[in-house]
């Protein structure tokens, strides 16, 4: 491809393939398969359906992928396990983070904000948390990027976010997982008179809401999943937001083992630690309705999905609303839509 000229400057090389547009087919398939289980009370069956659909579609994506953030080790199959090879095996070599259902409990009970997510990054650039599944996090959107510090007191961070947004602490909405471990955090936020949105699960969607103005969320605080933190970092890199984290050990023995393995529990993990390359791609599709995405809607012979597709190199964020003809899909796919 010949270089292009723009105002006298050579600016362009051959465009790289936008795998984010391939990934949205993966999350759409998982959402369509899992959406049938909304409100049925069976988290295991819903997750199995999403995983099987996601694995089938990942096999068609032109990449040499290794799952870094999965749903456990190989002996826990049929889940997408850590170290599993996915894709066609062709270049590029990439790390993959998957969460076929972020929010299995909301899906099983028919509540809000269950989504299906996938992220990829160049091989070796995605943080591997090993067996340590919990992380203290703070996530914000573009307005407050560079203004927060996870080691600072809650009050200092909320005041910094309010200043960055040109408002008061009372104007902020803080999203927090509804867990007993967050009782003191919730009490602190209430004393500062900020608004609180408590959620039962789904902290990938919660982190992304901070960078999505229509969601009305200003900051995510509290301890959630480490894998979810890596997925959120991939998306927020392109969306202009920020997430910081610190690994949390659940027991003294876990802390000891982690240190022996070289993990630093008192170290702040920045965006560059969690997703070290701008060349990230992320896709999410709504399974149930939420502030971020609409859920799957079924009708006679068809369904609609609502997705978010993010590419780090360009910073492009796409909203994809798709109409699916299920009778045609069922002719060419083994996935039971």
315 is in an annotated binding site: no
225 is in an annotated binding site: yes
The number of C-alpha atoms within 13 Å of 62 and in the hemisphere containing its C-beta is 6
88 is in an annotated binding site: no
90 is in an annotated binding site: no
47 is in an annotated binding site: yes
Strands 219-225 and 302-311: unpaired
99 is in an annotated binding site: yes
Q: What confidence tier does 76 reach under pLDDT thresholds 50, 70, 90?
A: low
- Lowest average pLDDT, out of 141-145, 229-233, 298-302, goes to 298-302
Two structure tokens written together for 228: 């979810």
For 21-73, the pLDDT digits (tens) are 999 999 999 999 999 999 999 999 999 999 999 999 999 999 999 999 997 66
Interacting residues of 211 by C-beta distance below 8 A, sequence separation 6+: 140, 141, 142, 235, 236, 239, 240, 241
pTM higher than the cut 0.75? yes
Q: How far apart are CA 194 and CA 142, in angstroms?
A: 20
71 is in an annotated binding site: yes
- In percent, how much of the chain has pLDDT > 90? 82
Q: Which of 166, 210, 217 is nearest to 194 (CA)?
A: 217
143 is in an annotated binding site: no
Burial of 332 (0-12, 13-18, 19+ CB in 10 A): exposed
Average of per-residue pLDDT across 214-233? 96
104 is in an annotated binding site: yes
Q: Which domains does the chain have, with CATH numbers?
A: 4-124+280-330 (3.30.540.10), 134-274 (3.40.190.90)
pLDDT > 90? residue 15: no
84 is in an annotated binding site: no
Q: Which helix (H) or strand (E) holds 239?
A: helix 226-239
For 261-310, the pLDDT digits (tens) are 999 999 999 999 999 999 999 999 999 999 999 999 999 879 999 999 99
Q: What confidence tier does 11 reach under pLDDT thresholds 50, 70, 90?
A: very low
259 is in an annotated binding site: no
35 is in an annotated binding site: no
**pLDDT, position 78:** 61
């Amino acid at each position: 491809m010949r270089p292009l000229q723009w105002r006298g400057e050579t600016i362009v090389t051959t465009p790289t393939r936008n795998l984010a547009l391939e990934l949205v087919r993966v999350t759409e398939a998982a959402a369509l398969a899992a959406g049938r289980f909304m409100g049925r009370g069976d988290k295991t069956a819903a997750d199995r359906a999403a995983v099987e659909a996601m694995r089938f579609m990942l096999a068609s994506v032109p990449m040499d992928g290794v799952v870094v953030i999965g749903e456990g080790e190989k002996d826990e199959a049929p889940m997408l396990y850590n170290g599993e090879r996915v894709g066609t095996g062709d270049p590029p070599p990439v790390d993959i983070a998957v969460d076929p259902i972020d929010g299995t409990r909301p899906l099983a009970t028919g509540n809000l904000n269950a989504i299906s997510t996938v992220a990829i990054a160049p091989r070796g650039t995605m943080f591997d948390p090993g067996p340590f599944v919990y992380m203290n996090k703070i996530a914000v959107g573009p307005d407050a990027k560079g203004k927060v510090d996870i080691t600072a007191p809650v009050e200092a961070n909320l005041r910094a976010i309010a200043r960055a947004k040109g408002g008061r602490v009372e104007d902020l909405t803080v999203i927090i997982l509804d867990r007993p471990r967050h009782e003191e955090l919730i009490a602190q936020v209430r004393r500062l008179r900020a608004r609180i949105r408590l959620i039962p699960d789904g902290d990938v969607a919660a982190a992304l809401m901070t960078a999505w103005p229509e969601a009305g969320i200003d900051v995510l605080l509290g301890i959630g999943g480490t894998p979810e933190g890596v997925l959120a970092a991939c998306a927020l890199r392109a969306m202009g937001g920020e997430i910081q984290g610190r690994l949390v050990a659940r027991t003294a023995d876990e802390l000891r083992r982690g240190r022996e393995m070289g993990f630093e529990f008192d170290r702040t993990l920045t965006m560059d630690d969690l997703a070290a390359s701008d060349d990230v791609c992320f896709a999410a599709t709504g399974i149930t309705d939420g502030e971020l995405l609409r859920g799957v809607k079924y009708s006679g012979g068809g369904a609609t999905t609502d997705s978010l597709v993010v590419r780090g190199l360009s910073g492009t964020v796409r909203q994809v609303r798709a109409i699916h003809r299920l009778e045609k899909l069922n002719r060419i796919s083994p996935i039971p839509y």
